[in-house]
Amino acid sequence: MKLPTRPQLDAIRLAGLATGPYGKRFRRGTYTGIMPNSKKLIRLLAEAKRLAKQYYRLTERPLGVTGEVAEYEAIRLLHLRPAAVRQPGYDAEGKVRNGRRERLQIKGRCFPGKINPGARMGAIDLSKPWDAVLLVLLDSDFDATAIYRAERAAVRAALLAPGSKSRNERSQLPISKFKAIGRCVWPSGHNAITPT
C-alpha cells in the first residue's frame, strides 16, 4: 500500500474523512496545519472567480462564492489557520494570545464598481465565540483589494448602539462604520487601495 503524501493527508483531514492511513481515526474538522495551496485548488478558485464574473455580467446578480473567496484570500494573505469545518462563530485562527489562538470571523463583499455608501456587511452573530471580524473587500475580479479588522468589543458596541434597525435587529454594520471602528491589516499601512 502506497502511503499518502503530506498534502494528501492534509486534504483528508480538512475534508473530515473518518479514517486516514492504517485506519487511524481523525477527529472531524480538526486543524491540519496548512491551508491547501495546491495548484489544483488555485486553478479551481480561479475558475470559480471567472464563472462568478461571467454570471454577474449576464444576470447582474452575485453567484454566491464571495464568502468562500474572501475566506481563502484572508487565510492566504494574512497567513491564518483555517478553522475546523462548520466551526460555529469563526472561520480562521490567528496568533496565540492569552494562551489560545484568536478566533476570527471573516466577511467578504465584492464591488464590481463603486462602493455604495449604504453597503452593509453580512450578519455578525454576537452569541457565537469569536475575537475579531475581518472584512475582505474584493474587486470585480474577486481579488482582494483590502482587509479590515475590528475587535469584538468595538463590533459589539457598534451593533448594540441605539438607532438603526439593520444594526440592532439584523446585526449588520455599514462597511463605512466597520472601517471606522477597525483598522486596515492588508495591504499593510493605512492607505489601503479600496474600490471607489
- Res 34 pLDDT > 70: no
Opening angle at CA 80, ends 102 and 63, nearest 5:
110
The DSSP bridge pattern shows strands 144-151 and 183-186 to be antiparallel
Can you give the pLDDT at residue 4?
53
Q: Give pLDDT tens digits for 42-85.
A: 788 888 888 988 998 899 888 889 999 999 899 989 999 988 88
Cβ neighbours for 154, distance < 8 A, ≥ 6 positions apart? 181, 182
Report how far apart the first and last C-alpha atoms of the chain are (Å, whole number). Answer: 56
Can you give the pLDDT at residue 193?
41
Residue 194 domain-assigned? no
Q: How many domains does one find in the chain?
A: 1
CATH code, domain with 44: 3.40.210
- Res 3 pLDDT > 90: no
Residue 154 domain-assigned? yes
Q: What residue spans of the chain are helical by DSSP H?
A: 6-15, 39-59, 66-78, 152-160, 165-168, 175-181
Residue written as cell 471602528?
A: 181
Can you give the pLDDT at residue 179?
95
Residue 160 domain-assigned? yes
Per-residue pLDDT band at 17 (split at 50, 70, 90): very low
Q: Give pLDDT tens digits for 114-169.
A: 778 889 999 999 999 999 999 999 988 889 999 999 999 999 999 998 887 667 78
Residue 1 domain-assigned? no
Can you give the pLDDT at residue 120?
93
Residue 70 domain-assigned? yes
Residue 156 domain-assigned? yes
Can you give the pLDDT at residue 10?
52
DSSP three-state, residue 80: coil
Average pLDDT over residues 79-95: 90
Rounded to two decimals, what is the model's pTM? Answer: 0.75
CA separation for the pair 23, 79 (Å, rounded): 31
Range of the domain at 35: 27-186
Residue 3 domain-assigned? no
CA separation for the pair 28, 176 (Å, rounded): 38
Can you give the pLDDT at residue 137?
95
Kind and range of the H or E run holding 51: helix 39-59
Residue 48 domain-assigned? yes
